[in-house]
Amino acid sequence: MDRKNARRNILKSGLAAASVMAVNHLSVADQHGQHENNSNEDILLEKAFAEDRYVLPPLPYDYDALEPHYQGQALEIHHKRHHQAYVTGLNAVLEKMDNARRDGNYDPSHVRAYSSDLAFNGSGHELHSIFWHSMTAGGVEMPDSFARQVRRDFGSVERFKAHFSQANKAIVGGWGVLAYEPIGQRLIILQVMEHQDNTFTGAVPLLVCDMWEHAFYLQYKNDRSQWVDNFMEIANWQYAAKRYDAIRR
Ligand SMILES: [Fe+2]
């Protein structure tokens, strides 16, 4: 089994025994009664890996598509330079690990450094890959079925949005993450510092907000609050709902 199929199977059965319906293009669209604009490849992040290497996935829209909420130049630099740097770092550290195993070099300091690089760049690559889909021009209403789960786990959609916004605004260098936690089969909000701290192992990110300064400084300077408010206006809840459908039991 190649890695792409293995990843698909983990999402389908290992994490949450997702039904065939859940990853079926048409069924997901039918379930929400809305136009499908994210392919299964987008939902499962398959464009972030190709030919046995991690790669920079294309954006699902033009660089200027999110203006004025997100300026085209800032988005292009974020994607082409910052995200690419995590992809490059991730492939590089995996190669270093391969070399170290080949040489039998398990010096503890090297192992620690490589492990840290792997977590940093790997999480950075995954979170950015989700981040691009976490926004859509003009924003989109939360699908009804997903809103019911949000109300169950957070009390109301309004309380969830207030909590998610405030969690984002309080992050300095990291990510606000809406995630599915498969043990309790519930949605949770995480403040993931750097790329890898404060996480809940096993929880699957559904929608994320990049709170690293490189994500917003060109346009918003140090006004992280305005960045979050504008992000919330273009948040792609439909994408979050589709990832939720794809991974839950
Ligand atoms: Fe970023």
> The tokens 């809840």 sit on which residue?
237
CA of 20 from ligand 1 middle (Å) equals 33
pLDDT tens digits for 26-71? 233 333 333 346 788 999 999 999 999 999 999 999 999 999 999 9
Q: Report pTM.
A: 0.86
Do the domain assignments include residue 152? yes
Cis peptide before 68 (omega within 30 of 0): yes
* pLDDT score at 5: 54
CA of 83 from ligand 1 middle (Å) equals 6
The number of C-alpha atoms within 13 Å of 205 and in the hemisphere containing its C-beta is 26
Pairwise CA distance, residues 45 & 127, whole Å: 10
**What's the distance, CA 197 to chain centroid?**
15
Do the domain assignments include residue 115? yes
Neighbours of 110 (CB within 10 A): 13
Do the domain assignments include residue 16? no
* pLDDT score at 80: 98
Pairwise CA distance, residues 241 & 140, whole Å: 11
Strands of 204-210's sheet in order across: 186-193, 174-181, 204-210
CA of 249 from ligand 1 middle (Å) equals 30
Cβ neighbors of 89 (< 8 A, separation 6 or more) are: 117, 120, 121, 124
Domain range enclosing 178: 1-9+21-28+40-46+69-249
Question: Cβ distance 224 to 216 under 8 Å?
Answer: yes
E runs forming strands in the chain: 49-50, 53-54, 174-181, 186-193, 204-210
Pairwise CA distance, residues 22 & 189, whole Å: 23
Single out the residue of 81, 41, 89 nearest to residue 63, CA to CA. 81
CA of 101 from ligand 1 middle (Å) equals 31
CA of 74 from ligand 1 middle (Å) equals 11
Do the domain assignments include residue 191? yes
Weakly modelled stretches of the chain, pLDDT under 70: 1-37, 249
Single out the residue of 167, 152, 143 nearest to residue 232, CA to CA. 167
Do the domain assignments include residue 150? yes
* pLDDT score at 200: 85
Do the domain assignments include residue 157? yes
* pLDDT score at 248: 86
Angle at 170 between CA 232 and CA 77, to 5 degrees: 60
CA of 215 from ligand 1 middle (Å) equals 5
Do the domain assignments include residue 204? yes
**Residues around ligand 1, an ion, CB closer than 5 A:** 82, 210, 212, 215
Do the domain assignments include residue 35? no
> The tokens 């059965």 sit on which residue?
13
* pLDDT score at 201: 85
> The tokens 């090297």 sit on which residue?
110
Cβ neighbors of 213 (< 8 A, separation 6 or more) are: 173, 222
What domain count does the chain have?
1
Single out the residue of 166, 148, 158, 132 nearest to residue 234, CA to CA. 132
**Measured in Å, how far apart are the chain's first and last C-alpha atoms?**
23
* Alpha carbon distances (Å) from 39 to 27, 51, 192: 12, 20, 27
CATH of the domain at 89: 3.55.40.20
